[in-house]
Structure 1
Amino acid sequence: MEYINRSLSEILENTPKDKATTIFGPRQVGKTTLLEHFIKNRDCFWLSGDEPVDVNILTNLPSKKEVLSLLSSHKIIVIDEAQKIPGIGLLIKRMVDARTECKIYVTGSSSLDLAGGVYESAAGRTRSYYLWPFSFEELADASSVIQEKRNLSSRLVFGSYPQIINEPSQAIVNLNNLYKNLAFKDALALGGIKNHGAFQHLVYVLASRIGQMCSYESIAQECKLSSPTVRTYITLLEQCFVIKCLPSFARNLENELKKSKKIYFYDLGVRNAILKRFTPLESRPFEEQGALFENYFVIERIKQASYHNCMVNHYFWRTKNKAEVDLIETYNDEIQAFEIKLSRDDVMSPPSFREAYPEAKYTVVNKNNYQNYLSHWDLPIIV
């Protein structure tokens, strides 16, 4: 399959020279491929944390003169798999402080050690961006909106990781490997988790409850863990780009829920691999089909906000009387509300929501119109 252009490409073209550009994202999401296409036919020096020689070079740059010599010799420096390079944050700081015309691009998995090292040692000297599994917009641009709509059932079962899109016949095998790498290789190693069985059970429970309202306490009770342990595990899964926790939106009403959360998976193929469930969408209970569609739309909106670097906050809304709105987005003082229903379009916003937030825009999203809210973003790209 031909290379599918990524939304980050335009941003990479316009990143400032006085900062290093760091690209975070989970394993196998296409960070290296993105940069390989970006630097094509350009003067670039490529270094990788997977190469022992390169690691040695980058770990032992003893002088400012040698750093300056490296940067002055090329237009672009790429440091791939940077989480494997000791002291990478300090190295980035020294490179940026050299003040050359060379642009620096750094990639790394969602490893906490890389993020922590960069943020602590190179504070103020980086611009960070995230690369996700393919978005609806990226895939639609590569084919057409109509074709991508035809693929909706497949996306809800197998997700949108590059290798799944490029090798559909190997989807189940590849997703099983992805799940083990994402949820276990990264999270277990980085979090120092010793009770593997309890962690695995927690991940299974979360996968079973996508889109459902929950609390740390309820999950802890179901998994027979303490609430602080559940909080730690869930935070770790978020930092490793496995799940996204949506908090509840509350400003005006006393009976608005304030502590509950909804949990979604960044990729539904990974979620289905956790459950070992690749049943065709049409053969699943309608309630599960709706939950998968809701998960898909919420995450696609989050991807778009991330790619456009918009300061959009995402929530759900619910009261103690069980009035609910699936997705709330806030940007400055604007409120956009989405009710996400796979096959319905006759859903009215709850009267209590309209009364509390009369300024909010309310939209019902279903399988017939969802593309209108994923194909284009109505806010400017910010680099």
Structure 2
Amino acid sequence: MDYFDRHIKDKALSLLSKFPLLAITGPRQSGKTTFARHLKPDYTYVNLELPESREFAKSDPLAFLRRYQNGVILDEIQWVPELFSYLQVLTDERNIPGEYILTGSQNFLLSNQITQSLAGRVAMLNLLPLSMKELADQIHGQSWENLVVNGGYPRKFQFDIAPSDYYPNYIQSYIERDVRQILNVMDLGNFQKFLQLLAGRTGQVFNQSNFSNELGIDQKTVNAWLTVLETSFVAFRLPSYYRNFNKRILKTPKVYFYDTGILCSLLGIKSANDLNVHFARGALFENLVILELMKKELNSGNVPSLYYWRDSNQTEVDLLQEKDGKLTAIEIKSSETFHANFLKGLKYFQKFAPESAARLIYAGSLDQVRDGIQIGNYWKI
């Protein structure tokens, strides 16, 4: 398949009709360039990772932008931050909706420049790897174990690359390269250990001191490394929810990955069979479900409001989603067999938030409402 239809398209076209600039960020190889070129095939395309384009833009940004105008895709624009101030001036002068599409893989660098220079002039969208819905024709009927091992990167599916071939190369080619460029990490071996440790603690509370002790590095370095993984769309922190509820709750975030294929590779998982007795089985399913809910919101142009909740008695709800002023508590279970105790945490939480909705997403076949809680299979996320 040459191109996967991306569900973010309608929102992107709508924003292009209202703003002079549209910025698309996301992980490397998530399909940003392909999406932008299919979205506006008549636009001039400029790749700022190419030395000649980058040098022209850096040495004479005004001339560069006067040459490229009235429908331009500027790919990987974070490498030429000098352009942002000039884009502000020129787009204000011309006032043409949808004149530029900007793409970038490093969220922090791109967002920081936009905040300083282009606020009010640019619309921003995040394009993550393919969702289950976008991959529907390729993955129909597959087990969740296959889904998490294969992940969602377009090139992997386009060329039918085995996960064991694709993801180790991705980690080496992009993740480690980005870390070296941003932080100038000298001890790459220690960073690789950090990545593997982080993968092994997916879905767990992020304890900086534990990482610091195990790796023999200070906590500032631990936090800096995780921040780079966040800004490169590799991992993210899921914050705890504490508004209006019991003050005695855990406020430390949990950590998840933006793609389960990368996560499986870091855990040494090469096939669905490897998950049968793997210690991270439940965490991987949880990561899959959270990612799908996140992608659904991002593809609609929304900022996902996702949290977890745990009180001082260790009673926990895997995920809280806040949307349109409403709160939904979600429990996530990899089991194919329903057990009544799956609903225990949800019922407890509803004592604090009686107006909240509740869902159980699991790997079984029940599709019903029980005690006011919607129970359904992960395919119906």
State the TM-score bracket (shorter-chain normalisation): 0.7 to 0.9
What is the TM-score normalised by the length of structure 1? 0.86
1:35 aligns with 2:43: no
Instruction: State which drifts further: 3-12 or 109-118.
Output: 109-118
| Partner residue, 1:81 | 76
Tell me the residue number matched to 2:49. 50
Q: Report the alpha carbon displacement of residue 63 of structure 1 after superposing the two structures with TM.
A: 5.3
| C-alpha contact 1:158 1:278 (8 A) present in aligned 2 | no
Residue among 188, 192, 198 paired with 1:196: 188
In the other structure, the counterpart of 1:207 is 199
Q: How many residues align?
A: 362
Identity of aligned residues (%): 27
**Structure 2 counterpart of 1:310, one-letter code:** N
Does structure 1 retain, via aligned residues, the 8 Å contact 2:321–2:328? yes
Q: Which residue of 2 aligns with 1:354?
A: 350
Superposition map of 1:279-294 within 5 A: 279-281=271-273, 283-285=275-277, 287-294=279-286
Deviation of the 1:61 alpha carbon = 4.8
Partner of 1:372: 380
Q: Which residue of 2 aligns with 1:253?
A: 246
Which of the numbers 103, 112, 115 marks the counterpart of 1:116?
112
Query: 142, 155, 165: which is aligned to 2:157?
Result: 165
**1:340 shift after superposition:** 0.4
- Contact 1:23 1:106 (8 Å CA) reproduced: yes
* Secondary structure in structure 2 of the residue aligned to 1:137: coil
Query: Does structure 1 retain, via aligned residues, the 8 Å contact 2:322–2:328?
Result: yes
- For 1:279-318, what aligned pairs fall within 5 Å after superposition? 279-281=271-273, 283-285=275-277, 287-318=279-310
Matched, 1:179 2:171: yes
Q: Structure 2 CA distance, aligned partners of 1:91 and 1:159? A: 39
Cα 1:214–1:60 shift into 2, 3 Å: closer
- Alignment deviations for residues 112-162 of structure 1 (CA, whole Å, 9 cap, x no partner): 44443333232332111111110112112xx28xx5342532221121111
Aligned mates of 1:339, 1:255 — CA distance in 2? 21
Uncovered stretches (5+) of structure 2, i.e. residues with no partner: 366-376
Deviation at 1:296, TM superposition (A): 0.5
Quick check: 1:92 aligned with 2:81?
Answer: no
1:19-52 deviation per Cα after TM superposition (whole angstroms, max 9, x unaligned): 3111111111111111221223x3x222221334
Contact 1:88-1:114 at 8 Å conserved across structures: no
Distance 1:58 1:228 in 2: 35
TM-score (norm 2): 0.86
In the alignment, residue 358 of structure 2 is paired with which amino acid?
Y
- Cα deviation 1:80-114 (Å, max 9, x = unaligned): 12233351212322332232436210112226444
Deviations 1:318-365 (A, max 9, x none): 123221111111125311111101124332142531211111111110
153-162 vs 105-114, which deviates more? 105-114
Change (3 A) 1:63 1:176: closer
For the residues of structure 2 that align with 1:311 and 1:31, how far apart are their CA atoms? Answer: 18
Corresponding position of 1:377:
none
Alignment correspondent of 2:368: none
Q: Secondary structure at the match of 1:278?
A: coil
Q: Measure the CA separation in 2 of the matches of 1:280 and 1:69.
A: 51
Over 4 Å off, 4+ runs: 60-64, 66-70
Instruction: Measure, in 2, the Cα distance between the counterparts of 1:88 and 1:151.
Output: 46
Give RMSD over aligned pairs: 2.5
AA in 2 matched with 1:46: Y
